[in-house]
Structure 1
Amino acid sequence: MSSSQTVTARQRFFGEDAVDPVTGAVRADQVLVSWFGCASFAVAMGGVVFLLDAWVPRGATSGYVPTTPAEVAALAPSAIFIGHGHFDHAADAGVIARDSGAVVHGTAEHCATVRKQVPGVELSCKEMGSSASVPGERHDFTLTPEISVTAVRHIHSARTPRHEGPDASTPVRPRPCLCDIRTYPPSLGDAGHLARNLLAPEGGVLLYQFRIGDFVLTWHDSAGPLLDKAPSVVEVLRGLPASDVHIGAVQGFNQFTNGLRDPRTYVEALRPKVFVPNHHDNWLPVMTARGEAFRTPVHDELARIPEAERPEIRMLLDRDDYLAPGRLTFDLT
């Protein structure tokens, strides 16, 4: 992969002003985050580029997200962090890791799934537990001498019985948005890619927190019913440093019964200054809706948090906020 390809890709994802036009180095005094669909993000933290999940949404549509796995690989990420192994989170991880040399991070099952995507290729993968790990299990390590990482085992979104009483939340049931299939019809190749990866196993669910200096970024690609099924995880999350930025999933199976109660649980535990909803766009139009459908429910749910503790909500809306340099840029100084 040429350095010119990396310069072009990084300038597109992170902005021309943030990337050296000769070397491709990203400025080290900021954290820059660029969304490329569902729960996938490219991050430049202190000049180090890495990915959170690795799937460019396609299959039910083509071209809805304006990038490709090849362009994501051209970012030359040093690492790929997998939240869980379902197709909408890891289906492009193998190809991107192969083409970029990135080290994959995830459970043993995530590593196995990613390696199966590129048979015959040796991929480097850091294993953190397995699908049998206990919720709340914690892994601490460094990505670079300046960036420390904590991975916490938690649980996938799941439907639970309807809660009543003062903590009950209003169900969120947006209508599926089929219109984008007509505007961005799927190609045969993209439909085949989706079909081949559709049944990829979850393999366990990990939340990641990244720290550089005093800055804390936390990300997770699913929000499980912690209060009902894994209350110990809530205590582990409360024990982490408060987040400057929290990028958390809001779309999930429990929204139809208990609204956004589960995502709020994560926000309350992680105590962010800024909350960025993810996994809420029209990534699978037969089931999903555009992010605009979640704007009011997210604001209404988080309004239940006392004002002094309530984060700023930085809503991302498809398709305007895909690969939007500057939308999620934070100073380190």
Structure 2
Amino acid sequence: MFSNEVSRRTFVVGAAAAAASTLAMTNASASVPASANPTIVARQRFFGPENVDPSTGEVDSSKTILSWFGVTNFAMSIAGNVVLLDAWVPRGEFSNYVPTSPEELAALAPSHILIGHGHFDHAADAAEIASMCGATIVGTDEHCSQIAEQATTELRTLPLDSDRTDFSLSNGVAVHSVRHLHSALRAPRGEQPPLVLVPDFSPAIEHPPTPHDTAHLASHFNDAEGGSLLYQFVVGDFVLTWHDSTGPLFTDAPEILDAMRALPVSTVQIGSIQGYNQYTNGLSDPLDYIQALRPSLFVPAHHDNWLAPLSAPAVAYEERLRQALAGLPTSPELLLLTDPADYVQPSRLTFDIPVK
């Protein structure tokens, strides 16, 4: 076994060094659409103009709508509540590949930023976004403290320090959080073959990084995990479960799988499929989560090319993922998001909320 933190930093530093050795810096920067009301413009872009009131900016409360902006980062409107799930616009190895910015995410005016864990690819922009818009940071005490220390203003926080915590959003949205485990390398179980993908540096070559973005990435390399949380949102008969890492629960914490089985059956599960255990156990860990959460629809995440050579394009996972799902006793429908085509595409993840 090796330390998850040490192995992660080794991968990340190596990835940055590989990119830096081949790329020239540019001064391009993302821009926020100009508008007299930037919140309305941002919400129309992230949730679809047909779902946003053009005079008030309120989002259709009969729907759940998500826009992906890389790794496991999503802007979500659920029953009219606008929140962020994780908070990092991927950049540093490249720039202007993911078509948004922290400023535009703040313009969405999210009420909460829910953090799955504290590594940079999930939380590096949380302090800046929350400072601009006043959103409440939700996560473990470690997440909240780390983000608060990075902020330039005092932040509102909601620490969740129990193995299972229940709270609510407006319009009858119940939220269940469960502590689980970050991905980690373990000995082969023999159920799934190893999964090693060919790295792809083309985003960095085609969208070279600005000095500012490279510095931002470097400044967050050592951000701590601070524990990992899975979140489930329940409104009416609609249940959405989201987790930004997928740990070796079968070997390390089978009781957490039992806790997941005790949750309501998921209508939609959005879950990380990339992890350190893929190098010895393939997609075994994601399959364990899927079987415990029992989704009708599975949406993979943390499978895009956010930091080569640690990452690869989403399409590289497709064949193995379809084969793995087909081997389950009950296989969910698969909705595969691909990068960069599906970044900030709300039509891909729009669901009606059935009324009980």
TM-score, with structure 1 as normaliser: 0.94
Q: SS at 2:346's partner residue?
A: coil
Query: What CA distance in whole angstroms lies between the structure 2 residues aligned with 1:311 and 1:186?
Result: 38
Q: Which of the numbers 193, 198, 214 marks the counterpart of 1:191?
A: 214
Identity of aligned residues (%): 50
Q: Is the 8 A contact 1:84 1:221 kept in 2?
A: yes
d(CA) in 2 for partners of 1:243, 1:312: 12
1:126 aligned residue (124, 135, 158): 158
The aligned counterpart of 1:24 is 57
Q: Following TM superposition, by how much is the alpha carbon of 1:51 offset from its aligned partner in structure 2, in angstroms?
A: 0.7
Large movers: runs of 4+ above 2 Å = none
Kept after mapping to 2: 8 A contact 1:106/1:126:
yes
Please tell me the root mean square deviation across aligned C-alpha atoms, in Å.
1.2
Deviation at 1:318, TM superposition (A): 0.1
Aligned to 1:258: 281
Contact preservation (8 Å) 2:80, 2:171:
no
Return the offset for 1:3: 6.7
Residue aligning to 2:17: none
Following superposition, the deviation at residue 285 of structure 1 comes to: 2.1
In structure 1, what is the Cα distance between the partners aligned to 2:313 and 2:203? 9
Distance 2:304 2:149 in 1: 28
1:331 is aligned to 352
Aligned counterparts of 2:50 and 2:169: Cα–Cα separation in 1:
25
Contact map agreement 1:177 1:287 (CA 8 A) in 2: no
CA distance in 1, matches of 2:126, 2:198: 30
| Residues 49 and 75 in structure 1, CA contact (< 8 A), matched pair in contact too | yes
CA distance in 1, matches of 2:124, 2:214: 13
- The unaligned stretches of length 5 or more in structure 2 are 1-33
Report the 3-state secondary structure (helix = DSSP H, G, I; strand = E; otherwise coil) of the residue aligned with 2:247: coil
Cα distance in 2, alignment partners of residues 113 and 176 from structure 1? 31
Measure how far apart 1:2 and its partner are.
7.8
SS of the residue corresponding to residue 150 of structure 1 reads: strand
Distance 1:255 1:122 in 2: 39
**Is 2:163 the counterpart of 1:163?**
no
Contact 2:143 2:226 in 1 (8 A): yes
**Deviates most, 2-11 or 69-78:** 2-11
Higher mean C-alpha deviation, range 33-42 or range 278-287: 278-287
How many Å separate the matches in 1 of 2:244 and 2:320? 18
Per-residue deviation, residues 265-293 of structure 1 (Å, max 9, x unmatched): 00000000110000000111232111010
Q: Distance between the aligned counterparts of 2:271 and 2:310, measured in 1?
A: 20
Partner of 1:80: 113
Amino acid paired to 2:231? Y
Distance in 2 between residues matched to 1:89 and 1:297, nearest whole Å: 25
Q: 2:322: which partner in 1?
A: 299
The 1-side partners of 2:312 and 2:248 are apart by: 22
Residues 140-159 of structure 1 mapped to structure 2, 5 A cutoff? 140-159=166-185
Match of 1:175 among 185, 198, 207: 198
Q: Does 1:41 align with 2:74?
A: yes
1:60 is aligned to 93
In structure 1, distance between residues paired with 2:130 and 2:335: 29
Asked whether the 8 Å contact 1:225–1:262 carries over to 2, the reply is: yes
Q: Equivalent of 1:311, from 303, 312, 332?
A: 332
Shift of 1:213: 1.1
Q: 2:231 aligns with which of 202, 205, 208?
A: 208
CA contact 1:3–1:24 (8 Å) conserved in 2: no
Could you tell me how far 1:112 is from its partner in structure 2? 1.1
CA change 1:128–1:3 in 2 (3 A) is farther
Q: What secondary structure does 1:58 align onto?
A: coil
Structure 1 residues 198-250: Cα deviation after superposition (integer angstroms, max 9, x where no partner): 11000000000011111100000000010000100000000000000000000
Deviation at 1:144, TM superposition (A): 2.1
Shift, 1:179, TM fit: 1.5
Q: Distance in 2 between matches of 1:163 and 1:218?
A: 26
Query: Does the 8 Å contact 2:79/2:171 carry over to 1?
Result: no
What is the number of equivalent residue pairs in this alignment? 321
What is the SS of the residue equivalent to 2:347? coil
What is aligned with 2:23? none
Contact persistence 1:180–1:285 (CA under 8 A)? no
Structure 1 residue aligned with 2:127, among 80, 94, 105? 94
1: CA distance between counterparts of 2:133 and 2:321?
36
Q: CA deviation at 1:157?
A: 0.3
